[in-house]
Structure formats: structure tokens, C-alpha cells
Structure 1
Amino acid sequence: MDHTNKLFVIKLTHTLIWMFFVAVIFYVVYSGITGAINTYTWLGIVLVIGEGIVLLLFRMFCPLTVLARKYSDSQKDNFDIFLPNWLAKNNKLIFTTIFLIGLVLVIIRTLF
């Protein structure tokens, strides 16, 4: 497989994983808003926190981004994922904020 195909596979994989985590984050928010807090809510919270730990270990880069660097010298924020550049650039800020809102709602619903 050549570099172009390898980068495509990485981008596709990265995008699918991103979509999964976006769904999980919105499920946490949904659970917090509706009070429908269950095992999946807590599992989602653990998964997102685990993702955060992985990002910290890789100096705020996804491991797939690090891998994709081997196959591209692009300076664009979306070189390694099928997202608009503005979203790839602001992804961590946007979805961390949404997750924290959901987490606070879940904690409030759980405690009160």
C-alpha cells in the first residue's frame, strides 16, 4: 500500500472513531438533560476520560495524528481526518466543553 492509501485508511479510521466519541459525548449530554442516567452513561464518561488521558500521554495529539504524520507533510489541521479544517482546529475545545456540560448535568442529576 502506498502513502496515499495508508493516509486514506488512517483518515477514515480517525473519522469513524471521532464520530463514535461525538455520539458518546452527546449521549452523556442527553442523559444529563433527561435524567436517563444508566450504565451506558457512566461507560461513556469513562471512555471520554480515557480518551483524554490518551491525548495527554501523546501531548494533546491523537495517536492516529502522530501516525498520519509519517504519510503527510500537510500543515492543515484536518490532514488526518475527514472534517472541515475549522472543526479539526477547534475540535478539542468544542467537544471538551460539550462533554463538561454533560458531565456537570449528569452529576447534578445524580446528586439531587
Structure 2
Amino acid sequence: MTYEEFNAFCQSLPATTYVVQWGGSHVWKVGGKVFAIGGWGEADKPAFTFKTSEQNYYFLEDKLGYKPAPYLATRGMKWIQYFAANDSENEDLEYYIRESYRIVSLGLTKKKRKELGLNQDD
């Protein structure tokens, strides 16, 4: 996945906003809360960071091409970084980004979700 594909995918999710911050990273938010980051890769290679469930975190932390996210995971948060940039993983990456979006949006207040038009069940 390229950064262009990453940005297009994140933009396709409802009520998202985009900002470039943290050293030129592509940062995607829902309701003002970060759910995905494109950047922080080593040697200018694409890297994508996302929030996970506890189960997915432990599944991915040792999987080839994935690692606990720099800065975030060291603070006890369940964030993973994908850095393999393998097109055969795009579908999996989209799944994990969509899950991150879901987890983060469910953490918003009911009022905020309603404002954003997010009709998710708790």
C-alpha cells in the first residue's frame, strides 16, 4: 500500500479528518481522535500505524512485517505498525485500519457519534 492508497482508504471512512503532523506523517482522525498514521517508517519506506484490540495486538506484535508501534506501544497502548509494504497484505491492512477506526469511534461520546452521523452499536 502506498501513502496515496492509504489516504484514499482512510478518506473513504465516514466523518474522518486528515492532518500532516509529527514529522510529516499522514494522520487520520475520527471525532478528533487518531485512528491511523502513515509515516514513521525506517529508511523512507512506507509504514502504517493503527490501534488494535488486545487480541489482535498480541497476534500481530510478533508477526512478520508488524511490530508494536513506536512511541505509542511503549506507553502501554495497543498500537501496531505495519512496515512490510507488501501489496498482498493490503486487504489485511485495510481490515486493521477499519477496526482501528471502529475502536476509536466507539470511544467517542454518544453525542459526538451522533453529531458525526456514526450510528454504531455499543
TM-score (norm 2): 0.25
Q: Compare the two structures and name the one with the higher strand fraction.
A: 2
Whose radius of gyration is greater, 1 or 2? 1
TM-score (norm 1): 0.27
Q: Compare the two structures and name the one with the higher helix fraction.
A: 1
